A and B are shown apart, each in its own frame.
Chain A
Amino acid sequence: MVPARCRGWAGACVLLLLLHAAPAPAAPHVPTDDAAIVEHLPARISSSAERQRQRAEREQLRRHPRELSLATRLAREALLRARRDGDPRELGQAQAALAPWWSLPQPPAPVRLLRAIVRQAQHDFAPALQDLEALLQPGPEADPVPLAIQAQAELTRASVLQVQGRWREADAGCARLLDVRYAALGAAVRGPALACRAELSSLQGQAGRAEAALAVLAHQGGIDTAWLALLRAELAERRGEAGAEAFYREALATPSPEVYPLAAYADWLLAQRREREVLALLAGREEADALLLRRAIALRRSGDPRAAQAASTLAARFDAARVRGDRSHDRELARFQLDLAGDARAALASAQANWAVQKEPADALLLVRAAIAAGQPEAAQPVWRLVQATGWQDARLRAFSGAGS
């Protein structure tokens, strides 16, 4: 049909030529040398012993797929690896371990808790909350939900609600954890619950008191110091205090720091225009998108030619995620579009989509920056409304409050 139209439809003919020039899938290749290294296995699982152990456990699970304690242990380990390395394939491993119960409407309590955590990590917040709330209902007297699982469900629920900007509900959950009925679990619950309440109050106009509360908790000990240091670092950053740096360093003073605190410290360094330190900090951790993104921004800002390669790798990963229908990376995508691709309009759309799901300080800052860059400061109104309604304090937001607030 097209050739016949060519005489009358010169435009269509030109297009047809262009279409044939469209890029074809890359050609596969055959390495010439058997000794050539073709793939590095995940860097974090570098010890042979750890790989052997994982293999043995997977084999064991293959033979006994319905053994609850083995399945939940493997799922929990996969979740912790996912958090350390930022690798979503680990979420698949966690789900695989829970497969015999995954689709049940009412799986056993330990499975239900882990299912909720996997879903939360995949940003499926609504079903995650459903599972968590079910665990907090008074169950049948013959088979009550173990207290420790209830506590974990309450904590996890609070963290989901906090991410969604439902601070009052999150705080109510953490307050319940200080109830006498959880007293038997001791500091393992009390510490995180107090820290949770302090952080939430810091977002709502009580930053000074929260800072003191976290300092007391740190002094008392009995709570993971790296995690507490991260909370204090982020609070100090929101208050615009230089002390943030020391807290970030403390949060990262572990043998294999997790992706989240690395990304947060990198952002702080980027805000201080200390790009070279970002490159040193993230060396060897490029496998995580969130970290590759910060590295690419640092490279770009220091005029390093490797920035282009990093940006195109990121673009390819975002593309691959979009192809499979995965929208859980809008925060990173918006940042990429804003700070690397220079496409403010696309960045604003992604930041808005992200804001509909997540409402953390980083998300607010991103939406405000994208709205201003796109020349539509009014698009950041949802952030300013939340700031108004909650008494949210953040020095980084204040710097923009002249525009559109």
Chain B
Amino acid sequence: MSRPLAALALSLLLPLLAHAHKPSDAYLQLQVDGTQVEQRLDIALRDLERELALDADDDGQLRWGEVRARWADIDRLALQGVALQADGAPCLAGTAGPAQLDSHSDGAYAVLTRRWTCPAPVRQLAIAYTLFADSDPTHRGIVRIWQDGRDETAVLAAGDAPHPIGGSGSTAPGFAGLVAEGVHHIWIGSDHLLFLLALLLPAVLSSATLRPVLSEVLRVVTAFTVAHSITLGLAAFGIVEPPSRWVESLIAASVVFAALNNLVPMVREGRWKLTFLFGLVHGFGFAGALKDAGLVRDRLVLPLLGFNLGVELGQLAVVALFVAAVWAFRSAAFYRPVLLRGGSALIAVVATVWLVERAFDLQLGTARAQSAEAAALAPVHLIGHEPLRA
């Protein structure tokens, strides 16, 4: 008894090792279209080797010939491990597609494709997943389903009850929740609001009649929207990723500039161009908030759209209230000195404090917009589904 004990004791007193390699995962992708379901299932060759002993010449390496020769067995294993049901009725598996491979982060995977046919147009698909149920209880099936424009993911373990996915409007609350987050974000994101206000203060004074005023407001808001949408998309998809400290500093600088421009006019004509330029920077700021919430590229489609819609709605509400209020007071004697000059000066001071804080990474006592953004975004509903990287 003491020899095995000694062997274990030694190993177990070592500090614990963080996970390396990767536990066993298979990647199941399902594309639902009417009664048809297109399947792609990626299974690690290492797992298949353990189960089926693929390495015929036993040299520690798998050659394509060795894998191909056993493809029928591989496919049988896959068929035993995955069954689909549509609204309670089993779907029929079609013949297997060609033998193919793909690589994932931990090595080569067999790619098994086939078309399933369900008895009626699929509303809710359920997956009975039992792959490697006996040989590796830590194995997981990472499932991704596309159905009616929705894109959902789930992590399945063998032995779970058949996992229903989809069904009527299951993603709608998540999307609506995200729109709400976007609205919330613009309301609490005081740097974005102050930037807009600094631009709109003089816009309302640009004419004595309402029509040109509204068209100027529209130009400014549209320029801001288009610009920040472009950079939000670029950053969220990882195409351009400027350092957040510079982005935050530039956002603060844009507010300072917009406010100072009202006191000492530097840019008079084509205010929308200025707005567009700075709007690009604000978009990177929105993206930072999205990233803090843990969203990743492949799952970004709906969240991004929803979040941005929310931002636009929130922004429009602010603009509508603000323009209406300022318009009502525009002829009052105190407007220009108090509202325009005083307001602009106040905005400039606040934004300058932010600028110094952010550029020099100091804490001068005002609330940090960025952390507030992150906090507000933490409970984004759509990431309740496990995000998937295929």
A interface with B by C-beta (< 8 Å): 2, 9-12, 14-16, 18-19, 21-23, 25-31, 33-43, 45-46, 48, 51-52, 55, 58, 62, 76, 79-80, 83, 85-89, 91-93, 95-96, 99, 102, 117, 120-123, 146, 148, 151-152, 155-156, 158-160, 162-163, 185-186, 188-189, 192, 195-196, 224, 227, 230, 258-260, 263, 287-291, 313, 316-317, 319-326, 328-332, 345, 358, 360, 362, 375
From B50, B68, B305, contact of A12 by CB (8 A):
B305
Q: Which of B331-389 contact A (CB under 8 A)?
A: 361, 386-389
10 cross-chain CB contacts under 8 A: A19-B301, A25-B29, A27-B102, A30-B101, A31-B101, A46-B60, A48-B59, A83-B11, A122-B138, A151-B9
Residues of A within 8 A of B388 (CB): 323
Residues of B within 8 A of A18 (CB): 233-234, 237
Residue B150 CB within 8 A of the other chain:
no
Nearest opposing residue in chain B for A186, CB measure:
B2
Interface pair B62/A39, CB less than 8 Å apart: yes
Interface pair B55/A41, CB less than 8 Å apart: yes
Chain B contact residues, majority secondary structure: mixed
Given contacts A28-B100, A41-B61, contact A320 B11 (CB under 8 A): no
Nearest opposing residue in chain A for B61, CB measure:
A37
Interface pair A323/B387, CB less than 8 Å apart: yes
B20-28, B122-130, B193-201, B258-266: which lies at the interface = B20-28
Nearest opposing residue in chain B for A285, CB measure:
B20
Known contacts A14-B230, A35-B64; can you find 15 more A-B pairs with CB under 8 A?
A: A12-B229, A19-B304, A38-B67, A40-B62, A46-B60, A51-B55, A76-B8, A83-B17, A91-B23, A156-B12, A160-B16, A230-B14, A258-B14, A260-B14, A326-B19
User: What is the distance, in angstroms, from A236's C-beta to the closest C-beta of chain B?
Assistant: 16
Residues of B within 8 A of A91 (CB): 23, 138
Give the complex CA separation of A18 and B140 in angstroms.
31
Interface pair A28/B296, CB less than 8 Å apart: no
Interface pair A148/B138, CB less than 8 Å apart: no
Interface pair A324/B155, CB less than 8 Å apart: yes
Residue B328 CB within 8 A of the other chain:
no
Nearest opposing residue in chain B for A84, CB measure:
B11
Residue B312 CB within 8 A of the other chain:
yes
B76-84, B104-112, B317-325: which lies at the interface = B104-112
Interface pair A38/B45, CB less than 8 Å apart: yes
Give the complex CA separation of A14 and B231 in angstroms.
10
User: What is the distance, in angstroms, from B380's C-beta to the closest C-beta of chain A?
Assistant: 16
Chain A contact residues, majority secondary structure: helix
Residues of A within 8 A of B24 (CB): 89, 92
Give the complex CA separation of A328 and B22 in angstroms.
11
Interface pair B23/A86, CB less than 8 Å apart: no
Given contacts A95-B138, A317-B106, A320-B106, contact A48 B60 (CB under 8 A): yes
User: What is the distance, in angstroms, from B182's C-beta to the closest C-beta of chain A?
Assistant: 11
Nearest opposing residue in chain B for A34, CB measure:
B65
Interface pair B134/A39, CB less than 8 Å apart: no
Residues of B within 8 A of A14 (CB): 226, 229-230, 233
Residue B70 CB within 8 A of the other chain:
no
Residues of B within 8 A of A156 (CB): 12
**Number of residues in B with C-beta < 8 Å to the partner?**
93
User: What is the distance, in angstroms, from A98's C-beta to the closest C-beta of chain B?
Assistant: 9
Interface pair B105/A87, CB less than 8 Å apart: no
From A22, A43, A87, A345, contact of B300 by CB (8 A):
A22
Given contacts A92-B23, A120-B16, contact A39 B100 (CB under 8 A): no
Residues of A within 8 A of B188 (CB): none
From A146, A289, A345, contact of B20 by CB (8 A):
A289
Given contacts A51-B60, A155-B12, A324-B23, contact A23 B67 (CB under 8 A): no
Interface pair A15/B229, CB less than 8 Å apart: yes
Interface pair A375/B67, CB less than 8 Å apart: no
Nearest opposing residue in chain A for B302, CB measure:
A19
Interface pair B64/A317, CB less than 8 Å apart: no
Q: Which of B217-264 contact A (CB under 8 A)?
A: 222, 225-226, 228-230, 232-234, 237, 244
Given contacts A33-B64, A38-B108, A320-B25, contact A88 B138 (CB under 8 A): yes
Nearest opposing residue in chain B for A87, CB measure:
B21
Given contacts A30-B101, A159-B13, A323-B387, contact A328 B19 (CB under 8 A): yes
